[in-house]
Amino acid sequence: MYVIREVLHCKPGKVRPMVERFKALSDAVEEIGQPPLRLLTDVGGEQFWTLVVEAKVERVDDFFSLEEQLFSNEAIRESMAGYHDLVDRGYREIYRIES
């Protein structure tokens, strides 16, 4: 089992619009029978305006298959449209759950 985290450092004041986009994406993930995404926002730290999106998958390839399936859906693409304008930078972390 793996946890994949997308760490997004948003532009000032743009975390809430990003959260709303990822809530819609999480709903779509649940609709296709997958566990919902876990959304975390910072309450203080080195980098303000941070959103962490966590997905739990059995295999790493499952994440990329899920991503491909979601973004083949026009409604999902529309709900995520323009999100690059809200992000300053980001990165992906992939962890294997050991216990």
Q: Is the residue at 82 inside a domain?
A: yes
| pLDDT for res 85 | 94
| pLDDT for res 76 | 87
Interacting residues of 38 by C-beta distance below 8 A, sequence separation 6+? 53, 54, 55, 56
Reported confidence tier of residue 79, pLDDT bands at 50, 70, 90 = confident
- The parent domain of residue 12 ranges over 2-94
Q: Is the residue at 43 inside a domain?
A: yes
Q: Is the residue at 99 inside a domain?
A: no
Q: What is the Cα–Cα distance from 12 to 84, expressed in whole angstroms?
A: 14
Return the DSSP state at 79: H
Give the number of domains in the chain. Answer: 1
> Could you read off the pLDDT of 16-73 as tens digits, one per residue?
999 999 999 999 999 989 899 999 999 887 788 999 999 999 999 999 998 898 888 8
CATH of the domain at 6: 3.30.70.100
